[in-house]
Chains A and B, each alone.
Chain A
Amino acid sequence: MQERTWAASEAPDSDAAVGGIEKYRLPLAVAAAVPVVLVLIYTVGDKDTGLVTQSVVTGLLLGGVYALVSIGLTLIFGVLGVINFAHGAMLSLSMFLVFWLTSTLGLPVYLATVVAVPLMLGFGFVVQGGLLNRLTVSGNHEGSLLVTLGLSLLITNVLLMIFGGRPLSVPGSLEGAWRVFGAIASYERLIAFGGALLVALALTLVLNKTSFGMCIRAVSANSQGAALVGVNVGRVYALTFGIGSACVAVAGGLLAPFLSLTPTVGEEFTILAFVIVVLGGLGSVVGAMVGGIVIGLVQTVGALYLPGTGSLILVFAVFVIVLLFRPQGIFGVTR
């Protein structure tokens, strides 16, 4: 499921001996805590139930969006150890790419997304292969953080130069909403949620069932060992970054219909995506999914009690606590 489990598949008895249930105690606890807290809020939370339902639905869908953005980041962070600070800017980039494809070529937005995916894959491949590989291989994490920071500023401001700062919207998207238990869920957000599930599933399959996925896992577990048995580590790094960017492209395409596009639209996701990735555990696709949904719920349901941006303080408090006491994340195993 993630970094350490991959390592475990090479030495199956070492981790299994430590304990089967032990390992899943925290993930299970978190999974159980979420419904318990929700039930508590419904029964003794002293809020209108319709309101709570709406914020739960909104939170779930928002969580799906967060998960979608985080999946690419967790792969890059988990395998390469690179803090990709340009992640949000790349999200903006893919949204504007989709915008450009829809407005000039007249493609429907979801078809434009399909076109954007290979383009972003190539972009990520070039960025990692051309700029970051030297730093990654030598283990210079601060260096790659600075390069991605520069890249983030560069992308944002080049977008600003080309498209200007006025908010744009992607034309011709799907209208309408689905009513569930009196709450409203717009189709666009439902599609984004489904997209997140699909991407997570596809990525898990690629990582676990293909030989290329095995290369990624091998490089992640031990890059020197992987190089010794003939894996081209530099290329795996570049392709991993490319796949991470392709996930961002999917996210950008699915988010573009219901966000107004400014060059800084992706920035707020950068921070939250890091929170989610650390929460879920580095390199854990399932962790990113669960982390995204938990954070989405904390943000919207928390907003019932802490209005405005107050609920985000909770999110960061959770982040710092996880970072300090369990840096391997909820779905990570102690090193």
Chain B
Amino acid sequence: MTRAVERPQDSVAAADDPRLKDNETRNAFVTLGVLAIVLAVLPFVLNERFESIAVLTLIFALMAVAWNLMSGFGGLFSFGHAAFFGIGAYVDAYLVVEYGISPWIAMLLGAALATLVGIAIAFLCLRYQLAGAYFALATFAFAQMFLLLVQNLEFLHKTEGFNLPILGGESFWMLQFRQGSDLYIWIPAAILVLALAGVILYVHSRPGQFVQAVRDDAVAAASLGINVMRTKLIAVGLSCALTAVAGAFYTQYYFFVGPQQAFGAQVSIEAIIPAVIGGIGTIWGPLVGALIVGPLAELIDSVLRDPPAFIGFLQGVAGLDVAIYAALLIVIVLFMPKGIYGTLKERWRR
């Protein structure tokens, strides 16, 4: 804990001690500022063809950042983030289609519902002391249950899903713009920057420090008076809310959501993989991971469309992109357990 502790009685000399200055938070916000500027100019330098990749990468990043809150900092390995992503996506679709409510409000309501559901699930699991592998299995089972439930509920259109009504013009309030509009990048980018700012503040706040202490040694943390259950549930709630926001934006961007796109097991996997590749339990790791995983599919696609001679046999073959990031995942877990960003950071410090 390098962070200065707020203690008003501290002498002036101690407060001025450079070792107690909170440089970490400041540096993180400087980095975030640079990132915000890069994302703001991104639509101007990016070919319109790459817009969808940028948006997909941003959604990946949001999910990975959210997953990392609960599973990286909180140490609760979730294998069912599809549940919360799906709740966000479906609440948005349902309210927009059936009641014509603004997606912004639907997004908030979806986040609230996902938070409640997430906290309820996590409470059950923690109350009955499911840890590690069992916790992962339980979250996975809940996500599957939601998938099956949605597939069988008439008012959620069963397996057909929702198509959003397409408005005539552009509307910020209804979150609809012409295709290729820069706002489709700016909005998730802004959400991501806000989310990262939230993560930075949270990680350096008391609940954030507490949850990391609980993750590292629950018994020791409890003996120091930390409410283990509450700190964990705070991390879970934040994570679920952010995941739901990502889901709502997904629905808005693709104008469609079905059970598999929202609640499928691959959604949970898509939240985990960028975070693991980038670095679990770091602020920037999930972002780094998303920047690698997001564009990979398109990159491989464009390579394979006109392959160099030595991999000519791969022309037109499907599945290579996932195979590559699956191999990357295995290699990273085995040889760089802190992820790419985490490992680089450690090297840097030495």
Partner-B contacts on A (CB < 8 A): 81, 83, 131, 134-135, 140-143, 145-147, 149-154, 156-158, 160-161, 164-165, 263, 267, 271, 274-275, 278, 306, 308-310, 312-313, 316-317, 319-320, 323-325, 327
Point out the residues of chain B lying under 8 angstroms from A165, CB to CB.
318
The answer, yes or no, to whether B272 is at the interface (CB within 8 Å) is yes
The smallest C-beta distance from B263 to any residue of chain A, in angstroms, reads: 12
Question: Is the beta-carbon distance between A154 and B326 smaller than 8 angstroms?
Answer: yes
The smallest C-beta distance from A207 to any residue of chain B, in angstroms, reads: 22
Please measure, in the bound complex, the distance between the C-alpha atom of A165 and the C-alpha atom of B138, giving whole angstroms. 31
B323 touches which of A135, A157, A316 (Cβ 8 Å): A157
Please measure, in the bound complex, the distance between the C-alpha atom of A149 and the C-alpha atom of B140, giving whole angstroms. 13
Question: Is the beta-carbon distance between B134 and A150 smaller than 8 angstroms?
Answer: no
Point out the residues of chain A lying under 8 angstroms from B137, CB to CB.
83, 274, 278, 323
Known A154-B323, A154-B327, A324-B128: A316·B334 in contact at CB below 8 Å: no
The smallest C-beta distance from B34 to any residue of chain A, in angstroms, reads: 31
With an 8 Å Cβ cutoff, the count of chain B residues facing the other chain is 41
Known A141-B133, A275-B141, A317-B145: A151·B326 in contact at CB below 8 Å: yes
Q: Which residues 279-316 of B sit at the A interface, judged by CB distance below 8 A?
A: 314
The smallest C-beta distance from A12 to any residue of chain B, in angstroms, reads: 29
The smallest C-beta distance from A228 to any residue of chain B, in angstroms, reads: 25
Point out the residues of chain B lying under 8 angstroms from A152, CB to CB.
326
Please measure, in the bound complex, the distance between the C-alpha atom of A143 and the C-alpha atom of B128, giving whole angstroms. 23
The smallest C-beta distance from B22 to any residue of chain A, in angstroms, reads: 31
* Supplied contacts A151-B330, A317-B145, A324-B128, 5 more A-B pairs, CB within 8 Å: A83-B136, A141-B132, A153-B326, A157-B320, A319-B141
A308 touches which of B133, B151, B314 (Cβ 8 Å): B151
Partner-A contacts on B (CB < 8 A): 77, 79, 124-125, 128, 130, 132-134, 136-138, 140-142, 144-145, 148-149, 151-152, 265, 269, 272, 276, 314, 317-320, 322-323, 325-330, 333-334, 337
The smallest C-beta distance from B276 to any residue of chain A, in angstroms, reads: 6
The smallest C-beta distance from B156 to any residue of chain A, in angstroms, reads: 14
Please measure, in the bound complex, the distance between the C-alpha atom of A278 and the C-alpha atom of B79, giving whole angstroms. 16
Point out the residues of chain B lying under 8 angstroms from A309, CB to CB.
148, 151-152
Please measure, in the bound complex, the distance between the C-alpha atom of A152 and the C-alpha atom of B134, giving whole angstroms. 19
3 shortest interchain CB distances as A-B pairs:
A157-B319, A160-B319, A153-B326
Known A150-B327, A161-B320: A313·B77 in contact at CB below 8 Å: no
A143 touches which of B130, B327, B337 (Cβ 8 Å): B337
Please measure, in the bound complex, the distance between the C-alpha atom of A267 and the C-alpha atom of B264, giving whole angstroms. 12
Please measure, in the bound complex, the distance between the C-alpha atom of A143 and the C-alpha atom of B133, giving whole angstroms. 10
The smallest C-beta distance from B112 to any residue of chain A, in angstroms, reads: 23
* B149 to A, closest residue via Cβ: A313
* A81 to B, closest residue via Cβ: B133
Question: Is the beta-carbon distance between A320 and B326 smaller than 8 angstroms?
Answer: no
Question: Is the beta-carbon distance between A83 and B133 smaller than 8 angstroms?
Answer: yes
A158 touches which of B79, B136, B269, B319 (Cβ 8 Å): B319
Question: Is the beta-carbon distance between B333 and A150 smaller than 8 angstroms?
Answer: yes
Please measure, in the bound complex, the distance between the C-alpha atom of A274 and the C-alpha atom of B124, giving whole angstroms. 19
Point out the residues of chain A lying under 8 angstroms from B318, CB to CB.
160-161, 164-165
Please measure, in the bound complex, the distance between the C-alpha atom of A150 and the C-alpha atom of B124, giving whole angstroms. 29
Listed A/B pairs (17) with beta-carbon separation below 8 Å: A134-B334, A135-B333, A142-B77, A142-B136, A151-B326, A152-B326, A153-B269, A154-B323, A157-B320, A161-B319, A267-B265, A274-B140, A308-B152, A310-B148, A323-B138, A324-B124, A324-B125
